[in-house]
């Protein structure tokens, strides 16, 4: 380790935040860019499955809540792209990576939202899993990322409560509504567990990231925590978690749960989920169709600046 690297690691070990203009190892920068932009992309792509129900939300209040939620996701995307930009990459570059299929985003958004209950399940399970991932990251070593996480976590926990509230209404509603809720849980449970990534044994990069404090807990730790938190919530709803192997292990003080279908996980990551192509195409279309608007806004700003300058001269 070079003296610079040593000093850098010492700061991290002492829980001092790294700020944009400070020296940092190239690998730290690159890993962070990848991690933050993936997170940003996930927020952006995540707007689609939920956006799918805005025009069909069942009450005006639910519509407003959902719209506000999807709006928050756009906002989170913005914070995160800004955080990534402090590492010397532009939003346009990141968008191009997303649009070209080079960059990844959370695989969960490649599943379709088929019923209104899916909006509840996403809030409850997907945002729940996201928070589980994100809460520790509020303490991560990179200042801008840490601060973005603090803002995001506050809103996400709000979203999770709203999702749970939707599930509650359904679970206490008509038989069809209850069935809708159970069906959503059946479809979203396993993909939610997959959100924590491969099991620790197969997780690359983890050790270095943890040393750098840009990853705080291991995938399996967080997944266990999520299961432990969520199972009682499902019970409270009167819904059944679709895992025959799920049971409380008094000895461990945790729930045991069944084997994840990693084949599905890698297929969906690899582009073969139900909606991968649709999500990407929708994004690219929005981006391409918006180009003339962005160009015009830029041209106008340039004209305006020139005029101001001309006046000043």
Partner 1 sequence: MNEQEALFEYLLRLGDNALILGHRLSEWCGHAPALEEDLALANVALDLIGQTQLWLNLAGTVEGKGRDADKLAYLRDTREFRNVLLVEQPNGDFAVTMVRQLYFDAWHYLLLQGLTTSRDGRIAEIAAKALKEVTYHLERSREWVIRLGDGTEESHRRMQTALDDLWMYTGELFEPDEVDRAMVGAGIGPDVSTLHEPWLGLMRATAEEATLTLPQPGWTQRGGKKGIHSEHLGYILADLQFLQRAYPNATW
Binding site for partner 1 (CB under 8 A): 44, 47-49, 51-52, 54-64, 67-68, 70-71, 74-75, 77-78, 81, 112-116, 166, 169-170, 173-174, 176-177, 180, 183, 187, 267, 271-272, 274-275, 278, 282, 285-286, 289-297, 299-300, 303
Considering beta carbons, is residue 78 or 216 the nearer one to partner 1?
Answer: 78
CB of 260 to partner 1, least distance (A): 19
CB of 246 to partner 1, least distance (A): 22
Calpha distance 141→41 (Å, rounded):
21
CB of 131 to partner 1, least distance (A): 22
Count H helices and E strands in the chain, helices first.
Answer: 13, 2
Asked whether the CA dihedral 185, 62, 273, 125 is positive or negative, the reply is negative
Considering beta carbons, is residue 132 or 171 the nearer one to partner 1?
Answer: 171
Within 8 A by CB and 6+ apart from 43, the residues are 73, 74, 76, 77, 80
Considering beta carbons, is residue 111 or 257 the nearer one to partner 1?
Answer: 111
CB of 65 to partner 1, least distance (A): 10
Angular region, 101: left φ>0, alpha ψ -120 to 50, beta rest? left
CB of 154 to partner 1, least distance (A): 17
CB of 254 to partner 1, least distance (A): 31
CA distances from 141 to 56, 149, 208, 215, 216 (A): 42, 12, 13, 9, 10
Within 8 A by CB and 6+ apart from 236, the residues are none
The residue written with tokens 């997907």 in the block is: 126
Calpha distance 145→223 (Å, rounded):
22
Considering beta carbons, is residue 75 or 136 the nearer one to partner 1?
Answer: 75
Is the distance from CB of 24 to CB of 8 less than 8 angstroms? yes
Considering beta carbons, is residue 98 or 135 the nearer one to partner 1?
Answer: 98
Max intra-chain CA distance, the chain: 79
Calpha distance 70→54 (Å, rounded):
9
Considering beta carbons, is residue 24 or 120 the nearer one to partner 1?
Answer: 120
CB of 12 to partner 1, least distance (A): 31
Q: Tokens for 101? A: 């299929």
Considering beta carbons, is residue 71 or 249 the nearer one to partner 1?
Answer: 71
């Amino acid at each position: 380790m070079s003296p610079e690297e040593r000093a850098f690691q010492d700061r991290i070990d002492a829980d001092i935040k790294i700020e944009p203009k400070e020296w940092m190892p190239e690998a730290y920068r690159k890993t962070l860019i990848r991690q933050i932009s993936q997170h940003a992309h996930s927020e952006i792509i995540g707007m689609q499955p939920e956006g799918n129900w805005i025009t069909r939300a069942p009450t005006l209040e639910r519509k407003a809540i959902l719209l506000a939620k999807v709006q928050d996701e756009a906002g989170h995307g913005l914070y995160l792209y800004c955080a990534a930009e402090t590492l010397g990459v532009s939003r346009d570059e990141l968008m191009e990576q997303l649009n070209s299929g080079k960059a990844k985003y959370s695989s969960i958004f490649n599943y379709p939202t088929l019923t209104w209950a899916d909006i509840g399940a996403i809030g409850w399970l997907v945002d729940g899993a996201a928070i589980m991932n994100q809460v520790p990251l509020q303490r991560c070593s990179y200042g801008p990322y840490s601060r973005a996480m603090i803002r995001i976590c506050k809103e996400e926990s709000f979203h999770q409560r709203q999702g749970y509230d939707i599930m509650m209404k359904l679970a206490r509603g008509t038989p069809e509504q209850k069935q809708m809720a159970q069906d959503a849980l059946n479809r979203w449970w396993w993909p939610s567990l997959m959100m924590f990534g491969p099991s620790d044994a197969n997780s690359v990069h983890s050790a270095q990231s943890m040393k750098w404090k840009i990853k705080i807990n291991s995938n399996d730790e967080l997944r266990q925590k999520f299961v432990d938190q969520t199972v009682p919530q499902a019970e409270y709803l009167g819904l059944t978690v679709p895992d025959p192997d799920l049971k409380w292990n008094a000895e461990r003080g945790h729930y045991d749960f069944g084997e994840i279908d990693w084949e599905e996980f890698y297929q969906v990551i690899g582009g073969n989920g139900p909606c991968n192509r649709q999500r990407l195409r929708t994004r690219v279309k929005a981006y391409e169709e918006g180009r003339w608007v962005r160009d015009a806004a830029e041209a106008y700003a340039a004209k305006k600046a020139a005029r101001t300058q001309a006046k000043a001269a």
